[in-house]
């Protein structure tokens, strides 16, 4: 049997690979934020909110769990969500488009269903905060499931800097959907488990 030659990767190849991943993550993040802001402009006056926000217990509007994360109640709402969405979205997207889409989809479904089942029937929920908490939970849990030192260190750093976010999963804050936050976090941890890659 003939030997199979193995081509060693040079340091330059590694740098180019990481640079490509970073540029891809920037593109994905800008695209995500761009969609949210375009929808915000289209939703000027709030007409789309009751039509495409999550309407708890309404079976006919169940599919709104896929549209609600891109809608926001007003300019203050989307501005408050934009920075954490950009930071956590970028860090999540560094693993590639496929992983990013999988994490996003799992989070949107779990967070949306949590809101749909547990929120009051007369409350319409919109906003990317469930997605933000999903990325947050994913980044915290990824190192635990994948046993990668850099991911563990990143998770620790995120916990130290943004750890107080965890209080957002508690009920009692007026105008805040703790259901979206809690189940977004759960969805992110679940996504880390389902999309894990062993080192």
Question: Does residue 113 fall inside a structural domain?
Answer: yes
Question: Does residue 124 fall inside a structural domain?
Answer: yes
Q: In which domain, by residue range, is 76 found?
A: 11-194
**pLDDT, tens digit, for every residue of 91-137?**
999 989 999 999 999 999 999 999 999 999 999 999 999 999 999 99
Question: Does residue 131 fall inside a structural domain?
Answer: yes
Question: Does residue 6 fall inside a structural domain?
Answer: no
The number of distinct structural domains making up the chain is: 1
Question: Does residue 88 fall inside a structural domain?
Answer: yes
Query: Which token pair is 27?
Result: 């593109």
Query: 4 pLDDT exceeds 70?
Result: no
How far is residue 34's CA from residue 28's CA, in Å, rounded to a whole number? 10
> Per-residue confidence at 180, pLDDT binned at 50, 70, 90?
very high
Question: Does residue 106 fall inside a structural domain?
Answer: yes
Question: Does residue 4 fall inside a structural domain?
Answer: no
Query: Which token pair is 15?
Result: 């740098």
Question: Does residue 199 fall inside a structural domain?
Answer: no
Average pLDDT, the chain: 90
What is the percentage of the chain residues whose pLDDT exceeds 90? 68
Residue 88's CATH number = 1.20.1540.10
What pLDDT is stored for residue 7 in this prediction?
47
**pLDDT, tens digit, for every residue of 7-56?**
445 666 667 767 888 999 999 999 999 999 999 999 988 788 889 999 99
């Amino acid at each position: 049997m003939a030997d199979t030659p193995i081509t060693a990767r040079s340091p330059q190849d590694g740098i180019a690979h990481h640079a490509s991943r970073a540029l891809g993550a920037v593109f994905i993040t800008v695209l995500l934020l761009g969609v949210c802001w375009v929808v915000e402009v289209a939703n000027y006056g709030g007409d789309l909110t009751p039509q495409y926000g999550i309407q708890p217990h309404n079976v006919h509007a169940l599919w709104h769990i896929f549209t609600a994360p891109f809608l926001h109640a007003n300019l203050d709402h989307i501005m408050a969500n934009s920075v954490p969405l950009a930071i956590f979205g970028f860090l999540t997207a560094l693993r590639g488009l496929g992983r990013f889409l999988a994490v996003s989809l799992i989070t949107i479904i779990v967070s949306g269903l949590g809101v749909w089942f547990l929120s009051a029937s007369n409350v319409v929920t919109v906003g990317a905060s469930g997605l933000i908490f999903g990325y947050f939970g994913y980044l915290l849990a990824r190192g635990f499931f994948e046993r990668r030192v850099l991911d563990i260190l990143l998770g620790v750093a995120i916990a130290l800097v943004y750890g107080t976010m965890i209080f957002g999963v508690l009920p009692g804050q007026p105008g805040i959907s703790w259901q979206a936050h809690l189940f977004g976090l759960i969805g992110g941890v679940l996504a880390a488990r389902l999309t894990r890659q062993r080192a």
